[in-house]
Amino acid sequence: MSITIPTSVGETYVAEAGSGRPILVLHGGLGLDHGYLRPTFDALAASHRVVYLDFVGNGRSDRALDYAAIHDNTIWVRQVDEVIEAMGLENPVILGHSYGGYVALEYALTPSGAGRPMILVSTAPKLDHTDVVAENAARRGTPEQVDAVRVRLARAQADDDEWADLWRTLLPLYFHAPTAELVARASEGTHFSAEAFNTAHLRALRAYDVSGRLGEITGDTLVVSGDDDWILPLELCSQRLAAGIPGAALAVLPECGHFPFIERPEPFLTVVRDWLERH
């Protein structure tokens, strides 16, 4: 089932499956949509109401935005709050992957988000390790991928097709053991948005840093990471989150990159289901 919800920041495309306690799933990118999450997270619909949104500017949500006016993640944090209210989601678990985790963390530091349980997958409290990312790309990437990281990833994408080509070029780096099937599962059917990528990565992320406020987060939190994430490495990102958020649990999946739910879906789901049963 899918619907469009009006919010103060734009029309929001929402899809859902199942019934029970709600889990609001926030996608990464930005410049992508929620589709790559569904093959794994729909499995939780047997016991939960799993709700996905496309952030405004992304996917099938409103793209008629004043992108130049966006300088931080406020617009997407507000969108999360208004979707929860409009859909009547009672005590939802907020699940954010990658950039979705950045939005989830900032939402957790608002009055509306305080105390809500979170599952943070392959995400970070701030981004201060571009040198490590470049080193990882040089160590494991092809010459084309190294160039993409050093040059193409740091500049504005001209249009959706250029962004889609860059994403598909880089995707193998995101897996511990990339295969054509895994890469396809992370990209097939994606609605790309170059404007969202440019806005998020070239402006909004410059203002993102919750590292000094992790101790203020009061909701139960599960942090999940692969042990081989080239862009948000375990030691610099997920371990920081788990150490800084009071009472947070950390689950590390071996031989996984940035998409542990694609690379090892069953072990990933076991970890998540176990945590949900206890919280």
* pLDDT range class, residue 178, cuts 50, 70, 90: very high
Q: Which CATH number characterizes residue 205's domain?
A: 3.40.50.1820
**Which tokens go with 86?**
């409009």
CA atoms within 13 A on the CB side of 222: 23
Residues 6 or more apart from 254 whose CB is under 8 A from it? 226, 227
Query: How far is Cα 23 from Cα 235, in angstroms, rounded to an integer?
Result: 27
Query: How far is Cα 101 from Cα 82, in angstroms, rounded to an integer?
Result: 17
Per-residue confidence (pLDDT) for residue 150, from 0 to 100: 93
117-122 average pLDDT score? 98
Q: Is the pLDDT of residue 157 over 90?
A: yes
Residues 6 or more apart from 129 whose CB is under 8 A from it? 233, 236
Quote the number of domains for the chain.
Answer: 1
- What residues make up the domain containing 217? 2-278
Per-residue confidence (pLDDT) for residue 246, from 0 to 100: 98
Q: Is 53 helix (H, G, I), strand (E, B) or coil?
A: strand
Of 82, 71, 127, residue with least CA distance to 101? 127
Rounded-to-10 torsion of CA 22, 27, 32, 35: -40
Query: How far is Cα 197 from Cα 58, in angstroms, rounded to an integer?
Result: 9
Which amino acid, one-letter code, is at 145?
Answer: Q
Please answer whether residues 172 and 140 qualify as being in contact, where contact means their C-beta atoms are separated by less than 8 angstroms. no
* pLDDT range class, residue 59, cuts 50, 70, 90: very high
Q: 226-246 b/e with 16+ CB inside 10 Å = b?
A: bbbbbbbbbebbbebbbebbe
Bond from prior residue into 241 cis (ω within 30 degrees of 0): no
Q: Is the pLDDT of residue 65 over 90?
A: yes
* pLDDT range class, residue 1, cuts 50, 70, 90: confident
Taking the model in full, what pTM does it have?
Answer: 0.97
Per-residue confidence (pLDDT) for residue 106, from 0 to 100: 98
Q: Is the pLDDT of residue 12 over 90?
A: yes
CA torsion sign for 243, 245, 247, 252 is: negative
Q: Is the pLDDT of residue 163 over 90?
A: yes
Per-residue confidence (pLDDT) for residue 173, from 0 to 100: 98
Q: Report pLDDT digits (tens) over 100-116.
A: 999 999 999 999 999 99
Q: Is 56 helix (H, G, I), strand (E, B) or coil?
A: coil
Per-residue confidence (pLDDT) for residue 3, from 0 to 100: 94
* pLDDT range class, residue 219, cuts 50, 70, 90: very high
Mean predicted lDDT score pLDDT of the chain? 97
Please answer whether residues 122 and 101 qualify as being in contact, where contact means their C-beta atoms are separated by less than 8 angstroms. yes
> How much of the chain exceeds pLDDT 70, in percent?
100
Per-residue confidence (pLDDT) for residue 75, from 0 to 100: 98
